[in-house]
Structure 1
Amino acid sequence: MTDVLEPATTTATTATDLPLRRPSDNIYLSGNYAPVEVEVTAHDLPVVGEIPVELEGRWLRNGPNPESVDDVAKHHWFMGQGMVHGVRMRGGKAEWYKNRFVLDADSRSAGVFGANTNVGGFAGTTWAMVEAGMPPCEMSYDLDPLGINRFGGTLDGPFTAHPKYDPTTGELHSMNYQWPDLVDHVNYTVVGPNGRVDRNLAIPVPDMPMMHDMSLTEKYAVVYDLSVTINFDVLGAGFPFPFKWDPDRPCRVGLLPRDGAADDIVWCDVEPCYVFHPLNAYDTPDGKVVVDVCRYDDMMVEDRCGPFTESPATFDRWVIDPVSRRVTETRIDDMPQEFPRHNPKAGLREHRFGFTSQVKPTEVNLHGVINKYDMAAGSVERHDFGFGRGGAEPVVVPKADRSEEDAAWIMTVVY
């Protein structure tokens, strides 16, 4: 686990001057979910412990961070202009910390919805990303906003927060939905190594499902067509995020051959559920697909503000059989958890290890943990952050001089 970076005096203000909006009746606007109101630049951060010298680059994270909220009671966690936080590491030092809104001040004042969910780099650029519409927003290496990136004008439609990278082809794959422009289909988009769209395939769906993520194997793009959809009653009641659990909607997973047409998708029924994030997926020698997921029994049944107060996510393994069109589900761990990650060197092939973060959103005095799962041994190790502390998404950085799958640095923010 990484060492803690202590707060530093900043060039803009000091930590004691920051006006933090902590108390709120909406849990997604309070405590550690509360928005950060100022952009900060801090240099030469003090370090407790040691930063491994081989960790050279930027640790980045993104979050909704609304600049203003019109109606606290109806505010959804997924809404906001977006803010990227970053720490630049080099030579065992933390050279800088910066946080920047994804959009410039003019866009934010106009109420533009930002790319507020994920952040990453591809084709020499840094992207902030969101599901359900907006293309990526490009940022400079120093996190200054550069505007919307439509892949050199080749993206005609939405993008996603969670594209999947194929290290063999250098391609980026995504499943994209957009309300209200796409009401009867989602787009499967492939971006080439040059940062331009090579393929865009429309996949018909019976209504508009919330499709937060996808999976990718060497043979298939995996489509999650699950039981959370647009709900016009929610929309009519004035909630800005109009998706809701639909108990009567069939739930299915699709296997799309990567060079196939929409008619080639093999749809496999699955018990009603919702999945935000899969860990990794791979093809088996007998033609099946294995994927480990954080699975919710239901999602946003009554809670209009976020995903964590009702049915917690468990960690499950799905084996998808395109011949029988069945999905076999096995529970790995019933601890409430989310944000699964794996060693990127194991992407698209069988993985042995996976990492997740425990979720305790409504507990103030939490003991949060990061889980390390050994799929071969059927075991789990838990790293406890201690009383009153919790961890965020674990980022897996392979060690440069080691080949073992679990030889990696696990990076997260602890609050």
Structure 2
Amino acid sequence: MTTTTTNPYLAGEYAPVRSELTEHDLEISGALPDWLDGRYLRNGPNPIADVDPDTYNWFTGDGMVHGIRLAGGKALWYRNRWVDSGAVAGRLGRRAPSEEGRSFLHGTGANTNVIGWQGRTLALVEAGLACADLSEELDTLDVCDFDGTIRGGYTAHPIEDPETGELHAISYNFGRGDTVQYSVIGTDGRARRTVDITVGGSPMMHAFSLTRSSVIVYDLPVTFDTRAAVSRAVPGPLRPLAALALGAIIGRVPMPGPMAHRLPRNGSGPLPYRWDPGYRPRVGIMPRDGGDADVVWIDVDPCYVYHPMNAHDVDGRVVVDLVVHDRTFDDDRRGPTEGGQHLERWTLDPAARVCKREMLWDASVEFPRIDERYLTAAHTDGWVVGSDTTELFGGLLGRVPATGGEPTVRRFGADVSLGEFVFVPSSTTASQADGALLGLVTDRREASTRLAVLDAQTLEDIASIALPQQVPAGFHGNWLPTT
């Protein structure tokens, strides 16, 4: 395991942990509400083997899920488990579920998100890699391909429709040619609808948005980098020729799976996507029951969107609140460090084909969340984390009113790094913002992490749970209530 490095994503609050732990009866400061009965889970990259610090990208580390079980005012356990891929399972002496024929790429275990859906725990990743079904105790059970109905990989950011319980997604991988796939997974766990949507090439499409009527597609200028891809799999003298060959295929025609399986090598090379200033940035609006020919495309200024907050319909237009990056993976290929990420509101008018952009908060923020009972409809409050500088994840937490009023802000200090905070309502009938925020707080000086439970309105402490080790800064977390 790498411990001394010039790569910031392998040191400090990002430093990988070395083993899987299980600890019971965790120490609590304050008093946990009795209505918090479930698991807080967080996924993120954690390389199991040494990687090259000169080329390692944060997005390519092996997946590891951390979990804290809460019930009856107690913190019953903490667990961390790698998501099993062939490489991870081989090093740990256990058998990984076969990915053959069930995903487009083989390699890194699902490292980006972890959700609860229809009684299942799903570790998610994008770009054609395999997602995974996990047990209650976070052990890997199987590849998640929705009973064989989604075989080219899935997405890290599906949206569960609060009204139907169905799971909507847009999935991409560089082998799909110039298309991405919109899918709807029924509550029976199988895809009931898939639509191929034509895009401008082979973009990295981290997320999408959904309203009650429409699907919102972000076709933005971070695209597949053939040179980076061949550097992972092709001997040096052959790389220029291989890059030319791939460049003639990627984003134009579908690529056969067996060819693609030779490319990834489990975090050992650069991320094969980068900022493309020549790519036409645009946003598409497709009716939920529509097809490729029904997409209305609207040009936007060059930018990148990792994480929308929410979207809803207003008088024939679509209003989207989202975090917008000026650019990403341009000069720095190790992680999203280019700066300039702010919370905006885009009003998309499909009739006029225009996008009106408004700044909601000029702070450097990311990981936007709302009360997910109101996804696809109008929300009243959102929460983001960030910093007072260009640092991606500092000690800033904000509650942002959808009306555009002044945010409620809490600053945790200069030596604190916050993970994503998730909202948990105090009951199924509670009003918006009546509940708690749960998220990981890391003290960089002490190299320690705690699970903070905060009042969602005031952002003040309710309780805090000390964890037995520092949890590396990672990606997405969710609350999975006990059913």
Tell me the distance in 2 between the aligned counterparts of 1:148 and 1:192. 18
Which residue number corresponds to residue 160 of structure 1?
Answer: 155
| C-alpha separation in 2, matches of 1:182 and 1:312 | 31
1:305 maps to which of 320, 334, 337:
334
Task: State whether structure 2 residue 334 is matched by structure 1 residue 353.
Answer: no
What CA distance in whole angstroms lies between the structure 2 residues aligned with 1:152 and 1:236? 32
Q: Aligned-pair distance for 1:22? A: 4.7
Q: Which residue of 1 aligns with 2:15?
A: 34
Name which of 175, 178, 203 aligns with 2:170: 175
Count of equivalent residues:
392
**Partners of 2:2 and 2:51 within 8 A in 1:** no
Note the alpha carbon deviations across 1:343-390, whole angstroms, 9 max, x for none: 0121111111110010589969x9611110012252201122234212
What SS is found at the alignment partner of 2:227? helix
Distance 1:256 1:401, change over 3 A: closer
User: In structure 2, do the counterparts of structure 1 residues 186 and 71 end up closer, same or farther at CA, with 3 Å as the change threshold?
Assistant: same
Give the equivalent residue in structure 2 for 1:234.
228
User: For 2:7 and 2:308, how far apart are their aligned partners in 1?
Assistant: 28
SS of equivalent to 2:417: coil
**What SS does the aligned partner of 2:229 have?**
helix
Q: Does the C-alpha gap of structure 1 residues 106 and 368 become closer, same or farther in structure 2, counting only changes over 3 Å?
A: closer
Runs (4+) off by over 6 Å: 360-364
2:141 pairs, out of 140, 146, 149, with: 146
Instruction: Write the distance in 2 (CA, Å) between the matches of 1:109 and 1:36.
Output: 18
In 2, distance between residues paired with 1:175 and 1:101?
25
CA deviation map 1:115-159 (0-9, x unaligned):
100001112210000010124201100111112021112223220
8 Å CA contact retained: 2:107, 2:129:
no
Q: CA deviation at 1:414?
A: 0.1
Q: Which amino acid aligns with 1:62?
A: N
* Unaligned ranges ≥5, structure 2: 92-105, 233-268, 443-483
Query: Which deviates more from structure 2 when the two are superposed, residues 355-364 or residues 111-120?
Result: 355-364
Shift of 1:168: 1.2
Q: How far apart are the structure 2 equivalents of 1:79 and 1:359? A: 24
Calculate percent identity across the aligned residue pairs: 41
Cα gap change, 1:104 to 1:265, in 2 (>3 Å):
closer
Is this contact kept in 1: 2:109–2:130, CA < 8 A? Answer: no
CA contact (8 A) 1:234 1:244 kept: no
| DSSP 3-state at the match of 1:198 | strand
Native 8 Å contact 2:329 2:336 kept in 1: yes
Tell me how large the CA RMSD over aligned residues is: 2.0
Give the residue type in structure 1 aligned to 2:137.
D
Q: Secondary structure at the match of 1:188?
A: strand
> Which of structures 1 and 2 has the larger relative contact order (alpha carbons within 8 angstroms, sep 6+)?
2
Letter matched to residue 227 of structure 1: P
Query: How far is the alpha carbon of 1:193 from its aligned partner?
Result: 0.9
The equivalent of 2:58 in structure 1 is 77
5+ long unaligned stretches in structure 1: 1-19
Give the Cα separation in 2 of the matches to 1:249 and 1:106. 35
Deviations 1:271-320, CA, capped at 9 Å, x for gaps = 11000000000001x11101111101111111111112x23311111001
How many Å separate the matches in 2 of 1:132 and 1:144?
A: 23
The answer to whether the 8 Å contact 2:385/2:394 transfers is no
1:259 aligned to 280, 289, 294, which one? 289
Kindly indicate whether the alpha-carbon contact (under 8 Å) linking 2:145 and 2:153 is maintained by their aligned counterparts in 1. no
